[in-house]
Every structure is written in structure tokens, then in C-alpha cells.
Structure 1
Amino acid sequence: MTTVVTALTHRHEARFVEVVGAAAEVTLVRRCADLPELLSTGAAGVARVAVVSPDLRGLDRDALRHLAGHGVRVAGLAAPEDEDGERRLRQLGVASVLHPDDDAATVAAVLGGLAEATTSRPLGPAAASTGEVEEEPEAPRAPTPVTVVWGPTGAPGRTTVAVTLAATLARAGIRTLLVDLDTWGASVAQLLGLVDEAPGVAAAARASEQGLLDVPGLARLAPEALPRLRVLTGLPRADRWPELRPAAVEDVLRLARGIVDHVVVDTGFALEEDEELSYDTAAPRRNAATLTALEAADRLVVVGAADPVGLQRLVRGVQDLAVRPAPPPTVLVNKVRASAAGPRPERTIREVLGRFAGLEEVRLLPWAPEDCDEAVLTGRALTEVRPRSPLLTQVAALAADLDERCVGAPTAGRHGTRRRARV
């Protein structure tokens, strides 16, 4: 028996309840008046499937994620002429959409199929008539890789590496999107001299929550900062972190693969989930954006500082990442210099990380304060101001390992770039 709960507007509720009552092996256990009641009912585990209207007040991607977390599959109910409503449901991730004029057999087949499915997926015409779940053909893997740049606390140079890596990929002719998901101190816009009065990532997350975000819409929110380099700027104020919910971040990164050929994500330093424990109910988590990005990553770059404190934090950070759902890390040690690590810093750093973190392969980035200072002062990427910097040479080697299309990238000087709005 398929247990069903509904949260429908009055226009179609009476008709649908009548159809469900006539459907075989389907039981309506509750009719919810609003979204909070639906969420509490879903958390109680009394129903396997929920049916919602596209105009249900407060319905967003995070609410659907909450239901999915309690094992509740979701179907939509929209009139055939309500194309906007059906489109919104599908953009939110509700793949199975019923219509008020569907007969009892069709409703029973769709709801029964969802109850047995592992995800909320649609049923084809054959499955709807037989009541059997129709397996979807496996979707081809998206060719666009997502590279996440992470590092422990202490300003090891995460954002500098992320910006330089993205600019290097773009210089090689690879269409690249740089996404700033740092909820503690976003700074990509400042480093590239971009106006961040209307943060792109917040606007994208807000549109995703409402089921209004698509590939063209995301492209409009991520303007080109350099040729072939789009930027989705971060939060201008750290206290706006609740705007970046996990479901929205996951959707933004999914759509980002359809805009460019490589996505680079700059994240915050914290990996803890402890703040969730201070709430009795589901609540926003400040580090959820970073954790979601790590789960979505195809490649992971970990950045640490080449000083005793930075190396200790790097060792602990690598250990923390080992228990997270993330790809194997490529470890970078930044700001390598003899004054902080001894007369033979490269050898010392490799020995320390090999002994305490078990890292056999470590990349070292040289200390280049003057090059980085000029880039920050002028609000431009390192590829623009110092194309022959030793630091840029090492980042270019990293880019070639992360994306084979970057091998043999052309060298670009200051010409060929364009001016942008300054912060």
C-alpha cells in the first residue's frame, strides 16, 4: 500500500482527493494545509509520497531536500494549461507531474512507482499504464569538471590560487567559471576588481531555491571578467551566509557545468558541522556551502602555508578531509621560503608532510609577495600583471595536470585583456 500526503491549493484538491480515493493500493493519510505541516508530516514518517502544487507557499529546493532526507518522494500536481507551474516544479527537481484530469489507474501507477523508486524520477507512458517503474537510461557523465580549492584557516592563499588557476585555464582557451563560495570572507570580486554590490552567488542561490534558475539565467549572473573567464562573485557580507543553502549550491554547481568547460570553486576554511547540533530542527549551516562543494567536486586542490603553524594546520586539514565525501586531494604548499622553513625549505616541507600526513606527492609554490601585491593593488589576475612569474609557472603546471586541454597553453602578456569595473 502506497501512503500519500498532499499539500495542494484548493482549486484542484477536491478532485485529486477523489481520484486518490478510487486508486488501487493508494492511501491518503493526511491533507496538509501548508508547507510547515507538510514538512513535519514528512519528518514523522507516516507517508512515502508527497503531492504538492507549484504555487504552494514557501515551496523551494531546500524544502524538497528536507523531504528527501526523510525518505519522502515528491510528485507535483499542475493543470495541463499551467506550463509555468509545471516548469517550476521540474526546475525544483520534481520530475513526476500529475494533472487533475488523470484517472485513478494513472495516479496509482505514478505514485506507486515513486514509492518504490530510490529517487523522485518520472514514469514513461508504458510504466504509467502498467504500474511498473520504468528505468531511465543512464545519463552521460557531464564532461565539465569541477575543481574545488580548499585550505585550512590562516590565509594560506586559497583565493589567490583559485583566481590564478581559473585565469590560467582561461588563458589556455578553456571557458572557465570561477565561483566564490566562501561564507566566511569572500574576496574574489576584490581581487579581480569587480563591483560586488549584487553578488552573483546569492542571486543564483535565491533563484534556484524558487525553481527559477536555468543555464541562461546563471550565465547572466556570471559576467566575463577576462576573456573566457566568467565569475560568480561571493557574498559581500559574511552575515549573509544563510542565503547559501546546500540544495541551492548543489543546483548552481550542476548548472555551471552547462555554461563553461571547467568550473573552479573557492571555498571557506571550516569543515565542521557542529552548528547544526544547537538547533532542535533543521536549520541553515554556515559551512554547508563548502561541504556541498566538496561532495560535488571532481578534483580537489588543498592549499597550506609553508610555515610551522601553516603546516600543522595543513596536516590536520588533510586528515579531516579523509573522512569527507571528496576526491583525493592535490596538496599545494604555498609561500615556500627559507626564512619560514629553514635553509632547505623544499626538502624540509616534504619530509614533514610525508612523516605526519603520509603525503608522498606535494606541490610547492614559491614565495612571490611583490607579484601578488601588484595583482591585488591593480585588481587584476596574476596572468595579466606578471605572466612570467615563477608562481604562475607552478600554477600553470597544476592546471595542466587538472585539465589536459591546458597543456601547451599560450603565454599572454598585458595586451589582450580588457578593463573592468573596480570595487
Structure 2
Amino acid sequence: MALQVFTAVTGAGWESELVGALDRDAHGVTVVRRCVDVAELLAAAATGTGQAALLSAELRRLDGEAVSRLHAAGVAVVGLVEPGDELAVQRLRQLGVAQVLPADADPEVIAAALREAVAGVPDAGRDVADPRAALPAPAEPEPALARPGGRGRVVAVWGPTGAPGRTTVAVGLADEAARLDVATLLVDADVYGGVVAQVLGLLDESPGLAGAARLAGTGMLDAAALTRLAWAVRPGLRVLTGLARADRWPELRPSAVGTVLEEARRLADLTVVDCAFNVEDDEELSFDTAAPRRNGATLAALEQADTVLCVTGADPVALQRCVRALDQLREALPDVEPVLVVNQLRRGPVPGDPREEVAAALDRFTGRRPRSFLPADRRATDAALATGRTLAEVAPGSPLRAELRALAADLAGVRAPAAGRRRLRDRRAG
């Protein structure tokens, strides 16, 4: 049976000749529709009448979201570029097109590439209307904690609603990792109310993650562009600020966020992502295949992360929310295994030893024991927030800071210095 193919190479002088050559029986390829733009191509893909799409790099309005939608519809993609145009090759590959050929390639070679691309498309197991179908394919996991072969690690800081301290943990981990001489990038990906810029005293008008996502969507993001968009807060620490207004969430398409995180792996040894709480599907939007998904950015970050930290408070209400949030995460992303971090641990909200009581409750209701306990230190966190500085700057001896430093060292795969050496180093840095 002939391979059913869509083409979207309009505007190229060689289109008609190529389509005619591909339609020959000897190639085993049938062009079922010649599309004039991305909108028509996506509409044709949604019909299920084609198995592959052949598109040119110059196709107007082609972006990473469009390629993700084609993959979600089960349509393999092969790109064509003008001979010798390496920038176009790089752009298409950044958009998610693995197979890219010169436009003057032999028709038999193009047909073989189409068949190979179709054979390599896995069964997604998700309907095209499922918001998770638009997520980029996760990168292969790296077994080692240290950065192997130029690829850094991504840690997503997530947790239930109710302000359990996700941003405090994310900022603290990033700052402590940088102070351990680990090149670190902090990303504010909270689509409901990112405040990393305010916590660190930065201007929230900078494009930050939204600007990086726009470049990623057009295939123009590279390490140099990402470096320009990220604030250099201190040596070894850069910050990609979040949305200045929550209603700008459609700018963070999941495929673009995935591309930003992949580029971040090349820029930094450790990337810490401050995520929003919500991983639910929007039932009203789930029947609209073209609508953006507000929680898509969160799902993309969680799915691509090497480690997902679930931050929970230590009081009964926070623990109940954590149990429910973990159930929702299991339904949305069953392959993600979160690591529990208990924040704001203190005596009072639970009877007895708070560490033992909280650990026992989480083990009973979630089957997981916390990896880290972060003590409540309201005086230190208030001082940091009031001055737009980090815990290491305002309260270097804080027990909360010590636990964050130990966790950061563990995640980055480095050894934390002894307490005495740390205080001496911090005084010298100050």
C-alpha cells in the first residue's frame, strides 16, 4: 500500500516537479493533498488521511507548536531546505523535525526518508484533543547526577496549591547550587503567578521565559539568545523571569517550553524550574484541538525534568492537598516519580515529633517517604523577601539555608563544604 503524504512546500519553484516525481508508483508514495499553509496542513492532518508530511523550511508561520500538533495527529514530518542552507536545517531540527533533506535530493531518497520517518513514529496512545498530546517528546534520562556530555540536569519544583513554598525552595536551591560552583539557571514557569523576579528584586518587564519561548517557537533559540534573555544575578546564577501578567499564559506553549529546557541543558549544569501547581485538564478546551492549554507548560516541565520535587507544607491541610495533588499527577503523567520535600516543618500543627508524624502520614497515604525536611524560619524568609535577596545573603547561618544547601548539593551531584568553611567563604564573598 502506498504511503499517504501531505505536502506543504508552496512558494518553491521545484514543488510541482517534486510532487510529480513522488507520485510515481515506483516510489510507493502518494501525495493525497498539497497544502498552501500551516493551517491547511494541520486541518488535513486532523482528518487522519495521511501518514507523513513533507514541508519546506520557508513555510509561512511554521513553528514548534505546529510540528507538535502534526506529531500528536500521528503524522511523521520530513523537512526540505535549499541546498547548503545550514541555518534552515538547524531551525527545522529545533522545531522537532528530525529528518531534513536538501530540496534537490533524489525523489527515491525523499521517499525513503518519508517511510523511515513513518516507521519511527511511536504510538502516542493519546487522542489529538488531549492537552498532553501537544507535549514534546521527553529527552532520554541521564543516569548520572553530574552533567554528562554537555547536557545539564533539569529539576522541576512543583507542589499542591496553597503556597507550600515552591518559589522559596526553587530560589534557594538555585542560589545554593551556584554558590557550590555549579552553573545554574533558574526558570520561572508558573503560569498562574510567577514571582521569582519580585523575590530577587528584578524588573519583571524583561521578556524572560516568554521571550525565549517565542524564539523557540520560530526555531531561533540558541545558547547565545538564551544567555541574553537571562538575568545574571550573581556569578554562576542566571534567572529567566516569568510572565509579568498571568493572562499572558498562552505565550508559553508546551512545545516551546520543552525546547527552552533542552537549550538550558546546554547552557547550565543545573536548571531549576519553578512550576505552577495545576496539572488538570481543562474540560472545556479538551475538545478543541487548536486551543492553547494553560497547564501545558507545567506538564512539559514536569515531563522533561530529570527530578521532580513535590514541595508540601507540614500542617494537616497542606498534607491533604499534597496527597490529592500526587493523585492528579499520577493520572496526568504516570511515568513521573516525584521526590517529596516537606517545607515549613515546625512544632505545633501536628502532635508529637513533627518529622516522624509527617513522614508517617505521607508514607501511609502516598507510599512515599520525604527525601528532605526544610525547617520553618520565618524571620530569615521575611528578611530575604523584604530586601529582594537570598537566604545566603541575609541569614547565612539559617537552618533552612543549611538544608537547602544540602539538597542542592545532592541534586547537583557535588559535595557541600563543611559548616565552618562555608561561613568563612560566605563572609569573603560578601
TM-score strictly above 0.5: yes
Contact 1:276 1:283 in 2 (8 A): no
Alignment of 1:165-184 (within 5 A): 165-184=173-192
What is the RMSD of the two structures over their aligned residues, measured on CA atoms?
A: 2.2
Q: Which runs of 5+ in 1 are unaligned?
A: 120-137, 418-423
Measure the CA separation in 2 of the matches of 1:406 and 1:183.
34
Q: Which residue of 2 aligns with 1:390?
A: 399
Q: Is the 8 A contact 1:169 1:406 kept in 2?
A: no
- Give the AA of the match of 2:217: E
2:18 to 16, 19, 23: 16
Name the SS of the counterpart of 1:33 in structure 2. Answer: coil
Pick closer, same or farther for the CA change 1:252–1:325 going to 2, 3 Å: farther
Letter of the 2:359 counterpart: R
Contact 2:180 2:409 in 1 (8 A): no
Pairwise mapping of residues 137-148 of structure 1 onto structure 2 (< 5 A)?
143-148=151-156
CA distance in 2, matches of 1:351, 1:114: 50
> Which amino acid is the alignment partner of residue 121 of structure 2?
T
Cα distance in 2 for residues equivalent to 1:105 and 1:280: 38
Show the counterpart of 1:416: 429
Alpha-carbon shift at residue 408 of structure 1 (Å): 2.4
Is residue 56 from structure 1 mapped to residue 59 from structure 2 by the alignment?
yes
Q: Residue 337 of structure 1 aligns with which residue?
A: 346
- 325 and 256 in structure 1: CA distance in 2 versus 1, 3 angstrom threshold: farther
Q: Give the corresponding residue for 2:35.
A: 32
Q: Alignment partner of 2:12: what SS? A: helix
Q: CA deviation at 1:269?
A: 0.7
Instruction: Report the AA paired with residue 18 of structure 1.
Output: G
- Count of matched residue positions in the alignment of Structure 1 and Structure 2: 399
* Cα distance in 1, alignment partners of residues 49 and 17 from structure 2: 23
The code of the aligned residue for 1:54 comes to A
Q: How does 1:361-400 map to 2 (within 5 A)?
A: 361-400=370-409
User: How is 1:6-405 mapped onto 2 (pairs within 5 angstroms)?
Assistant: 6-12=7-13, 13-22=15-24, 24-80=27-83, 82-118=85-121, 143-275=151-283, 277-323=285-331, 324-342=333-351, 344-405=353-414
Deviation per CA, 1:83-103, whole angstroms, max 9, x where unpaired? 443332232222323333323
Alpha-carbon spacing, 1:170–1:100, altered in 2? closer, same or farther (3 Å): closer
Note closer, same or farther for the CA distance 1:192–1:104 as it changes in structure 2 (3 Å cut). Answer: same
Q: Would the alpha carbon gap of residues 77 and 361 (structure 1) be closer, same or farther in structure 2, given more than 3 Å must change?
A: closer
Report the TM-score when normalising by structure 2.
0.87
**Unmatched segments (≥5 aa) in structure 2:** 123-140, 143-147
Identity %: 48
Between 1:4-13 and 1:289-298, the stretch displaced more is 4-13
Moved more, 155-164 or 195-204: 195-204
Aligned partners of 1:151 and 1:304 also within 8 Å: yes
Q: Secondary structure at the match of 1:220?
A: helix
- Please name the residue that 1:134 is paired with: none
Distance in 2 between the 1:408 and 1:330 partners?
A: 24
Tell me if the contact between 1:208 and 1:252 (Cα under 8 Å) persists in the aligned partners. Answer: yes
CA distance in 1, matches of 2:107, 2:370: 61
Q: Secondary structure at the match of 2:32?
A: strand
Moved more, 217-226 or 82-91: 82-91
Q: Find the aligned partners of 2:373 and 2:246 in 1 and give their Cα distance.
A: 31
Q: CA deviation at 1:416?
A: 2.6
Is the CA contact 1:175–1:229 (under 8 Å) kept in the aligned structure 2? yes
Distance 1:248 1:414, change over 3 A: farther
Whole-Å separation in 2 of the counterparts to 1:268 and 1:205: 17
Report the CA distance between 1:184 and its aligned residue.
0.4
Query: How far apart in 1 are the matches of 2:19 and 2:364?
Result: 66
- Partner of 2:105: helix, strand, or coil? coil
Aligned twin of 1:123: none
Give 1:261 shift. Answer: 0.8
2:81 counterpart letter in structure 1: A
What does residue 129 of structure 2 align with?
none
Displacement, 1:159?
A: 0.2
- Amino acid paired to 1:69: A
